[in-house]
Amino acid sequence: MATSSNEIRIGSEAPSFQLKGVDNRLHSLGDYRESKILIVGFTCNHCPYVKAYEDRLNALATKYRSQSVSIVCINSNDPIKYPDDTFENMVLRAEQKEFVFDYLQDETQQVARAFNAACTPEFYVYDEFRKLQYHGRLDDNTNEPEKVKARYLELAIASVLAGKSPEIATTPALGCGIKWRASS
């Protein structure tokens, strides 16, 4: 059953984080301070919605890397109940799909809670001051990339790079619900 994203206030500040990446390094919000735009996405390994978007997300990261746009994807799922989402499997997935963005694990799920994230995939676009400019989905067609009519995430990136607010600042992200631990 698909889950929709929670409402987030446009203009809110990016929550701080320090998480281990599949490169075995710790990554923090400050590591991206030189980027004009920071995109934070909540993703995972097993969700069919995420799998449908991985190639498009990788292409987007490649396209905008030279324009000072950083993409960070965070997996907050409970790896005990969902073994496909263990750190070891994250490393394998990143290698298999040749991710060109940072892929981080939120073991405590505190970062997902700080972002008020609800589903995978769910994207947040922050400007150079780390104020939220866009929240929602990547585009308007999960399963048929050739039929995409609205590239919401890419439009938001282009607007922010041009110094403008996106015309569409929110879209309801739709995907698998984050797999919360019973005790978190």
> Is residue 112 domain-resident?
yes
Considering the domain boundaries, does residue 184 fall inside one? no
The CATH number for 101's domain is 3.40.30.10
Return the H-helix or E-strand segment holding 91. helix 87-97
Per residue of the chain (184 residues), what is the pLDDT tens digit?
678 888 899 999 999 999 999 999 999 999 999 999 999 999 999 999 999 999 999 999 999 999 999 999 999 999 999 999 999 999 999 999 999 999 999 999 999 999 999 999 999 999 999 999 999 999 999 999 999 999 999 999 999 999 999 999 999 999 999 999 986 4
Asked whether residue 183 is assigned to any structural domain, the reply reads no
* Residue at 167 is within a domain: yes
Helices (H) and strands (E) counted in the chain, each on its own, are 4, 10
Amino acid at residue number 30: G
Residue 58, domain member (yes or no): yes
Number of domain units in the chain: 1
Domain around 13: 3-177
**Quick check: is 61 in a domain?**
yes
DSSP letter at 170? Answer: B
> Is 135 in contact with 169 (CB distance < 8 Å)?
yes
Taking a C-beta distance cutoff of 8 angstroms, is the pair 2, 122 a contact? no
